[in-house]
Every structure is written in structure tokens, then in C-alpha cells.
Amino acid sequence: YNKIGKAWKRGYLLYGPPGTGKSTLIAAMANLMNYDIYDLELTSVESNWELKRLLIATASKSIIVIEDIDCSLDLTGERKGKDKSNSESKGEEKKSDAVTL
């Protein structure tokens, strides 16, 4: 990565019910490695450009935490179109998410 000038990045998905130590593990890792923790709230991000700006603004030695990602965005994609008639009959409005991951 140094030879070609690319940043070495890695991502982890921690999954489990509340109270199983996910946040404690993140805090312990950050403490051990002396990294900063950034808690990214995706519901407040309105566009891909804003998400990119936020990610670029983080320190190089940092852990970015995105909690409850399944609740932050509509991740059903094409399936939502199949359920369109059901949601329209219930009077729900169709939402358009501006952020992609």
C-alpha cells in the first residue's frame, strides 16, 4: 500500500443484540491503539458528497462507528418496488434515500 500510495483500510461488522459488548469492544480497541472514535449518524447525512466530506475529515488513526445501519437507510432496494401497492394503499409516502454505501 505504501508503494502505490493507497491508504490501508479495513472494516468490521459487529452484530448482536444490545448489551453484548459491541460498543465496549470498540472502546477497548480504540484505547489500546490510541485511536479516535467517530460516531457517524447516517440519518443526518443527506448526500453522498456530505458522507465523503465527513469521512475525509476524520483523523488518520480513527475508528468510524455506524450503529444501527439497518435502521438508518432503506436497504431493501428493489424489493420496495414489489411492495409499492401495499404501501400506497396504506397511505405511506415513498422515500428516496440520497446516501449510498
The ranges of the chain with pLDDT < 50 are 79-80, 82, 85, 89, 92-95
pLDDT of residue 93: 46
pLDDT of residue 72: 67
Name the pTM for this structure.
0.62
Q: Which three cell numbers stand for residue 77?
A: 432496494
pLDDT of residue 41: 87
pLDDT of residue 50: 93
